[in-house]
Amino acid sequence: MTDHDASVVIVATEEDLTADMVAAHLLGGPVALLRLDPGRLRERPLVTGRFAGGRWHTVLTSGRATVTLDERCAVYWRKPTRPDALAAAEERWRADENTTALLGLLRAHPLKVWIDDPTVVAASLHKPTQLAAAARNGFAVPDTLFTSDPHAARAFIAAHRDKAVVKALTQRHTTFIPTTRIHLSDDLTGIAGTLHYLQALVEDRLFDARVTVVDDRVFAAAIRTDGALDWRAVPQETAEYRAIDPPAEIARACVEHVRDLGLVYAALDFVVTSAGWTYLETNCVGEFGWIESATGLPISARLARVLSEGPARRRAVVSCASARM
């Protein structure tokens, strides 16, 4: 076991190769590294938190590393096993108990940085919150409607000259639902009883853009498809991904937006037209491994650096397509 001045705790499933990408940058470095999945906690690492003298003292130990939760400790909370993903009731309870306890302990301590506290993520992932924040941050945001009223939907589509889309807010209890066009000629009766998320179509797109923000850095990529409305529905090998430098004001607004939501990390989606960049949404725990692999953008390295060195809150915003790391 080695004494370290700084430590990083990664909360992720053991199968999470995106967490591996970040951990790989920390291996052999100056920080103690410890990884655990509270949804499938093993006998090690050991977790012990004690409240005494009016304060918490929590230590996590594994074979190699001992981590004390304090201002020298950074936390990367990825996607641990969800308790409801487990088959047996007792396992679901244990996963829930462990996740709740770990989350509570982490929240009770001052940390160097937390990417990101899932309770903050939970508050930030709502689209109405995001769209309002995006408008505050200076982005162009499409006209949007949430409604369970077929008449309101029809009026919205008509107001946008039959150029509107319908999007799913969640995907957990269904197979994939891409963003699709919605027309006045569609049977809209199925809107009754379910709040539907409609948006004005952003016309004449040149390309889509995914901007991944890590603290004060932005990693932007252009995504070009054969005219697809939703690049997620396109097989990865048929789309073209290229690192780009976004306009400075967009980069600055992306960083402000992520901070505004209380986050350190997020992946933002835009449509780019000749008129400029239009904001679509913020993925608070958005994946990045695929776009790093496709473009070479050093997102995992930046995450590792922020975890080991802490955030650089006051530095100038840097776009990383040309200036690596």
Partner 1 sequence: MGTIRALMKMTHRFGFVGHPQSGEVMPGPLILGRRAPVPTRGAPALPRHHYDPDLCVNVTPGGKLLIHAVDSGTYTGTQEPRGYKKDD
Q: Which residues bind partner 1 (CB under 8 A)?
A: 10, 14-15, 17-18, 20-21, 23-24, 26-27, 33-35, 42, 44-45, 62-64, 79, 150, 166-168, 171, 174-178, 180, 182, 186-194, 196, 232-233, 235-236, 267, 283, 286-290, 292-294
Shortest spacing between CB 260 and partner 1, in angstroms: 21
Query: Taking the complex as a whole, how short is the minimal distance between the CB of residue 125 and partner 1, in angstroms?
Result: 12
Tokens of 219: 């990693």
Angle 38-40-46 (CA atoms, 0-180°, nearest 5)? 55
Rank residues 59 and 294 by Cβ distance to partner 1 and give the closer one.
294
Question: Please, which residues have CB within 8 angstroms of residue 91's CB and are 6 or more apart in sequence?
Answer: none
- Whole-number minimum distance, CB 274 to partner 1, in Å? 26
Of 39 and 45, nearer to partner 1 (C-beta) is 45
- Shortest approach of partner 1 to residue 315 CB, angstroms? 28
Q: For residues 325 and 323, give the distance between their C-alpha atoms in angstroms, rounded to a whole number.
A: 6
Smallest distance from the beta carbon of 276 to partner 1, in angstroms?
Answer: 23
Closest approach, Cβ 262 to partner 1, in A, equals 20
Nearer to partner 1, 113 or 166 (CB): 166
DSSP type of residue 271: E
CA neighbor of 99 nearest in space, from 116, 118, 73, 114: 118
**Contact call for residues 278 and 247 (beta carbons, < 8 A):** no
Cβ of residue 170: shortest distance to partner 1, in angstroms? Answer: 10
Residue whose entry in the numeric block shows the structure tokens 């705790």: 9
In contact, 22 and 304? CB cutoff 8 Å: yes
Contact 244, 238 (CB under 8 A): no
Residue nearer to partner 1 on the CB measure, 19 or 113: 19
Nearest CB to partner 1, comparing residues 38 and 45: 45
Q: How far is the CB of 166 from partner 1 (least distance, A)?
A: 6
Q: How far apart are CA 186 and CA 134, in angstroms?
A: 30
Phi and psi for 48 in degrees, rounded to 5?
Answer: -135, 120
Do the Cβ atoms of 112 and 9 come closer than 8 Å?
no
Q: What is the DSSP string of 220-264?
A: EEEEE-SS-S-GGGS-GGGSEEEEE---HHHHHHHHHHHHHTT-S
